[in-house]
Amino acid sequence: MSYDEKSDISLRLPARTVEAFDRIAQVLDRDRSWVMWKALDQYLAKEGAEILRDAHGLDELDRGESVALDDALEKARMIVDASAVRHPRVG
């Protein structure tokens, strides 16, 4: 589906939520659908994207695509140690 294609949905919301969308739409001189679309778009960009990243990470773990914690910590120690050699602290 392209970005411009639209789908109709039915959504049951508390009346106070719909009223809030209506007030915002009136202030912005937009329709309720536009305001709701913007709200959903922001959700997908933030919290929704985080959920999908977490799900992707869990899928990787399920496939055995992981690194042992000890190996990751050792690599981190090596990076810190190398940085300390290149940038010694004065004082």
The model's pLDDT over 58-75, given as tens digits with 9 standing for 90+, comes to: 999 889 888 888 989 999
* Whether the predicted pLDDT of 10 surpasses 80: yes
DSSP string, 47-89: IIHHHHHHHHHHHHHHTT----HHHHHHHHHHHHHHHHHHSPP
Per-residue pLDDT, 3: 67
Does pTM surpass 0.85? no
Q: How far is residue 74's CA from residue 69's CA, in Å, rounded to a whole number?
A: 9
Q: Are 22 and 32 in contact (CB under 8 A)?
A: yes
Nearest to 79 by CA among 91, 71, 89, 90: 71
